[in-house]
């Protein structure tokens, strides 16, 4: 009986050790990298149909995200607003005028932050300052 109790105690201890080690590995990763990874999934699900696989968009119809000057204006508040609420009306991206409609995708605020971090760190966009869920919450129509 003592042997059985000792083996059970040892087994639980080993499980707790590995559970703690796994948690430490997860929490020690770069939060921006984790957000970008989640954002890639959101992009694949909601954005790729119009902005395409490399963020190049469709000239005159869907603006490019790759190397986009529009994304970097005013800490990308307009871009966050467009992802959060949709976009309608004229915008100019890299000197080209667009006047289409981007539907409200009804993303959660954390998804908006994640997809913005993905977009802002791909295809020639290099904004290493993480967009947070709190920052997205602060953006209103």
Domain ranges of the chain: 32-137
What's the pLDDT score for residue 128?
A: 84
**pLDDT score for 24:** 47
Question: Given this model, what pLDDT does residue 23 score?
Answer: 46
Check: CB of residue 84 under 8 Å from CB of residue 139. Answer: yes
pLDDT tens for the chain, residues 1 to 141: 555 555 545 555 555 566 554 444 456 589 999 999 999 999 999 999 999 999 999 999 999 999 999 998 766 899 999 999 999 999 999 999 999 999 999 999 999 999 999 999 999 999 889 999 999 999 998
Give me 40's structure tokens: 């890639």
Q: Which residue has the tokens 């997809």?
A: 115
Per-residue HEC secondary structure of 58-124 comes to ECCCECCCCCCCHHHHHHHHHHHHHHHHCEECCEEECCEEECCEECCCCCCHHHHHHHHHHHCCCCC
Q: Please report the pLDDT score of residue 62 as a whole number.
A: 96
Check residue 3 and give its pLDDT: 54
* CATH class label, 32-137: mainly alpha
For residue 122, the model assigns a pLDDT of 97
């Amino acid at each position: 009986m003592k042997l059985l109790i000792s083996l059970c105690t040892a087994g639980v201890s080993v499980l707790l050790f590995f559970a703690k080690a796994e948690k430490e590995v997860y929490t020690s990763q770069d939060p921006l990298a984790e957000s970008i990874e989640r954002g890639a999934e959101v992009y694949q699900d909601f954005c790729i149909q119009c902005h395409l696989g490399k963020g190049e968009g469709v000239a005159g119809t869907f603006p490019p995200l790759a190397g986009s000057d529009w994304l970097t204006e005013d800490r990308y508040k307009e871009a966050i607003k467009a992802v959060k609420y949709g976009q309608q009306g004229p915008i100019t991206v890299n000197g080209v005028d667009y006047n289409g409609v981007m539907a409200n995708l009804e993303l959660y605020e954390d998804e908006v932050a994640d997809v913005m971090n993905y977009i802002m760190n791909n295809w020639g966009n290099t904004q290493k300052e993480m967009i947070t869920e709190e920052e997205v919450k602060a953006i209103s129509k």
